[in-house]
C-alpha cells in the first residue's frame, strides 16, 4: 500500500514541478521542444520496449480482446455522450474527447495498485489486457486522427488518391510507426529485446525512462486551468467512469466471473486514466496545421483542452482505482457495481448545474450592484 501511494504521489508531484516551471519556460518554442522530445524520442522508445517485451500466451488472448472491446465501446459511444453534454461531434473539443476517452494508461494509474492489492498474477493478466489497448491507441486512433485531419482540412481540389498518399506518407514518417514496424520485424524473426546488442537495448531503455517524467512535467507546463473547461472535463470523466463500471458488470455477467480478485481486476483496468498516445497523434496533426498556418480556431484538435483532460484524468482514475481496491471485496459484487456506476453517471451532471447556479448568482450580484 505504502509503495503504491508513494508512486502516485511522485506522479502527481511531477505535474506540480511542471506547474512550478511555468515561470521559467514561457516561450512556445521551448514548450514545443519538450513536446518534440516526447514524440520523437521518449514515446517511440517506450513503444519499442513494450512491443519487444510482448509474449503472446494463447490462454491469455481473451484479455486483450476484452480490452479492445471496451476501447471500441467507448469510441462508438462518444457521439451520444457528446450529445448528452451538448458538445458538437465535429468540433475541435468533440474530436479531442473522441480521441482521448476510449484510450487507457493502466501503467500509470492502475498497475501499481493491482500489483499491491491483487498480486503478480493479476498484474500479468492486466499487462496482457493492455496489449489490446496498445493496438487500439497506437494504430486505430492514429488512423482516426489522420482521417479527422483530412476531413477538417479538405479542399475542393483534393482527391481521394492524394489523401491516401498523404496518409501513408505520414504513417511512414512518424518515428513511433518506424519503431513499431522495426519491432514487428524483429519479433517475426524470433528476436526478443534480450537478443539485441547491449548498446542498442540500453539506448532504448534509457530513453524510454524519460517518457513518464517528461509527459507529466509537460502537462504541468501546458495545462490551462479554465473554470468552465474544468467543469466539463470533470463531468465527462465521471460519466466515462460510470459507463465503464457498467461495461465491466456486463463482462462479469457474460463470462460468469465469480472470483472477487477477477471481478476487481475487470473493474479497475478499464477505469485507468486516458492515455498519452492519442495526444501524441493529435500533436502530430497540430504540428502539420501549424506549419500550414491553419488558424487556431479552425484546427482539428484543441491541444490545450487535451492537456487539461490528461492532467485531470490521471489523479481522478488513480483515486478511483485506489478507493475500489482499498475497500476489499466491497466492490466485488454486481449489485454494488451497478449502484456505483449509475451513481457516477448521475453525479456527472452536477458540475454543469453548479456552473449554471454560479453564473446566475454572479448575474444577480451584477444586477443588484447596477
473539443: which residue's cell?
Answer: 93
Around Cβ 310, how many Cβ atoms within 10 Å? 25
81-108: average pLDDT: 92
pLDDT digits (tens, 9 = 90+) for 272-310: 999 888 988 898 888 888 888 888 888 999 998 998 998
d(CA 177, CA 209): 19
d(CA 370, CA 280): 49
Identify the pLDDT of residue 156: 41
d(CA 16, CA 10): 10
d(CA 357, CA 334): 35
- Find the radius of gyration of the CA atoms of the chain: 21
> For residue 134, is pLDDT > 70?
yes
pLDDT digits (tens, 9 = 90+) for 99-122: 999 999 887 678 777 877 888 788
Question: What DSSP element (H or E) covers 88?
Answer: none
CA-nearest of 25, 56, 85 to 353 is 85
> The dihedral of CA 242, 245, 249, 251: what is its sign?
positive
Residues 6+ apart with CB under 8 A from 356: none
Amino acid at each position: 500500500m505504502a509503495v503504491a501511494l508513494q508512486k502516485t504521489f511522485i506522479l502527481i508531484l511531477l505535474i506540480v514541478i511542471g506547474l512550478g516551471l511555468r515561470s521559467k519556460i514561457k516561450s512556445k518554442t521551448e514548450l514545443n521542444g519538450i513536446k518534440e522530445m516526447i514524440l520523437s524520442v521518449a514515446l517511440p522508445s517506450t513503444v519499442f520496449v513494450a512491443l519487444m517485451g510482448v509474449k503472446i500466451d494463447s490462454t491469455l488472448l481473451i484479455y486483450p480482446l476484452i480490452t479492445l472491446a471496451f476501447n471500441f465501446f467507448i469510441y462508438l459511444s462518444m457521439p451520444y455522450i457528446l450529445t448528452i453534454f451538448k458538445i458538437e461531434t465535429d468540433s475541435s473539443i468533440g474530436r479531442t474527447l473522441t480521441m482521448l476517452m476510449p484510450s487507457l494508461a493502466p501503467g500509470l494509474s492502475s498497475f501499481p495498485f493491482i500489483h499491491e492489492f491483487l498480486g503478480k498474477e493479476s498484474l500479468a493478466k492486466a499487462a496482457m489486457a493492455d496489449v489490446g489497448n496498445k493496438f487500439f491507441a497506437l494504430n486505430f486512433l492514429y488512423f482516426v486522427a489522420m482521417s479527422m485531419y483530412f476531413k477538417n482540412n479538405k479542399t475542393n481540389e483534393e482527391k481521394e488518391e492524394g489523401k491516401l498518399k498523404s496518409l501513408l506518407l505520414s504513417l511512414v514518417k512518424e518515428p513511433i510507426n518506424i519503431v513499431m514496424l522495426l519491432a514487428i520485424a524483429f519479433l517475426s524473426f524470433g528476436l526478443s529485446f534480450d537478443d539485441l546488442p547491449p548498446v542498442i537495448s540500453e539506448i532504448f531503455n534509457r530513453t524510454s525512462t524519460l517518457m513518464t517524467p517528461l509527459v507529466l512535467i509537460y502537462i504541468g507546463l501546458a495545462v490551462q486551468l479554465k473554470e468552465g473547461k474544468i467543469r466539463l472535463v470533470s463531468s465527462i470523466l465521471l460519466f466515462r467512469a460510470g459507463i465503464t463500471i457498467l461495461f465491466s458488470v456486463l463482462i462479469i455477467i457474460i463470462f460468469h466471473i465469480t472470483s472477487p480478485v477477477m471481478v476487481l481486476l475487470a473493474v479497475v483496468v478499464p477505469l485507468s486514466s486516458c492515455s498519452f498516445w492519442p495526444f501524441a497523434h493529435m500533436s502530430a496533426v497540430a504540428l502539420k496545421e501549424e506549419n500550414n498556418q491553419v488558424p487556431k480556431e479552425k484546427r482539428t484538435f484543441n491541444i490545450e483542452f487535451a492537456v487539461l483532460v490528461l492532467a485531470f484524468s490521471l489523479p481522478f482514475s488513480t483515486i478511483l482505482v485506489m478507493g475500489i481496491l482499498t475497500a476489499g471485496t466491497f466492490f466485488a459484487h454486481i449489485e454494488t457495481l451497478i449502484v456505483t456506476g449509475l451513481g457516477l453517471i448521475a453525479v456527472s451532471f452536477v458540475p454543469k448545474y453548479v456552473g449554471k447556479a454560479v453564473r446566475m448568482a454572479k448575474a444577480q450580484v451584477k444586477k443588484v450592484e447596477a
